[in-house]
Amino acid sequence: MKNQKLRITAIILAIIGLVTSLYLLWIKVSNNQALCLPGIGDCWSVNTSIYSEFLGIPVSIFGAGGYLAILVVLFAETRYKIAKLYSQYAMFGLTLLGVIVSAILTYLELAVIHAVCPFCVLSAIVMTLLFILTIVSLVKYQSDKNQ
């Protein structure tokens, strides 16, 4: 992201998303229902459903990997020429994929599991905000490039 304020905001959001994903992984691995903050949504039903894993791997690992990849792109773009050239497109691809996966998982929560995990909702919101920031940055980058 070429704009420093957008970049810093994206870094903060990606860290929030990473921490949220790691917390969901901790709940999954520890099998500790108390970590779900009883009374706030139904994290337990979502995190123990068959949809909480893909190919036997907890979905939260994929989320953490996605947020980590976003952070790597955000840090690499200031250090490497090749990353500077393609970081906008990498961010767009990563956040678009993240929004699509978040939408599918949110649909599963609401329509199939009939339970809502507040941490999953937080992750979906964070990914959506990252996608919006990426689009704003990409539009600014394209308009600056065309001038």
Full pLDDT tens readout for the chain, 147 residues: 668 899 999 999 999 999 999 999 999 999 998 888 888 889 999 999 999 999 999 999 999 999 999 999 999 988 888 877 788 899 999 999 999 999 999 999 999 999 999 999 999 999 999 999 999 988 887 766 666
Q: How many domains does the chain have?
A: 1
Task: Pick left, alpha or beta for residue 24 (phi over 0 → left; psi -120 to 50 → alpha; otherwise beta).
Answer: alpha
Residue whose pair of structure tokens reads 């123990």 in the numeric block: 48
> Does residue 50 sit within a domain?
yes
CB 43 within 8 A of CB 122: no
**101 is a domain residue:** yes
Q: Name the DSSP class of 32.
A: -
pTM: 0.91
Whether residue 147 is contained in a domain is answered as: no
Residue of 49, 67, 63 lying closest to 120 (CA atoms) = 63
DSSP helix/strand/coil, 90? helix
Write out the residue range of the structural domain in which residue 90 sits: 4-33+40-141
For position 96, which CATH number holds?
1.20.1440.130
Residue 130: the pLDDT is 98
CA distance 78 to 58: 32
Contacts of residues 74-83 at CB distance under 8 Å and 24 or more positions apart, as own/partner, are 74/1, 74/7, 74/10, 74/11, 74/14, 77/1
Is 146 contained in some domain?
Answer: no
Looking at the domain assignment, is residue 96 inside a domain? yes
